[in-house]
Amino acid sequence: MASDDNIIISGDAVIYPGDLHEDFVRSSGPGGQNVNKVATAVQLRFDAANATGLSERVRERTIKLAGQRATKDGVIVIEAGRFRTQEQNRADARARLTALVAKAAEPPPPPRKKTRPSKGAVERRLKSKAGRGTIKKLRGRVEND
């Protein structure tokens, strides 16, 4: 296998052709009589749990992001049958897999910076609380002196 067949996503995420397995099945959707004769839909299987081109962090996130498309063994199954030809469906499945792994390879967001409310905001909040309490007290029974 040529190294130019590798799908390079980032420094810690590369998909090797040996990790991919494609099965062609009959497709539903457009195609008329052709649908009943030709296996144009593709089932792309990617063994993410044993893929050598993924770092541990990317591997775990890929399986998590795949959701129901991932099996218990960590194999991601992508079905593509939108198009009428095998080549288009094959390219569509690979593009969807690449997008999934690319999303998993994104660095985690920076941690949230804790902020404090300003002194004025705290005073305004306490003043409004006191005002609401006064209003509720005035709703009570009126006593005659």
pLDDT in tens, 76-127: 898 888 888 888 988 999 899 889 888 888 888 899 999 999 999 999 999 9
pTM comes to: 0.67
Sorted by sequence, the CB contacts under 8 Å of residue 90 that are 6+ apart come out as 22, 42, 44, 80
Supply the angle between the helices 86-105 and 56-66 in degrees, to the nearest 10: 120
Q: State how far the Cα of 91 lies from the Cα of 93, in Å rounded to an integer.
A: 6
For 2-32, the pLDDT digits (tens) are: 455 777 777 677 787 777 888 888 777 666 6
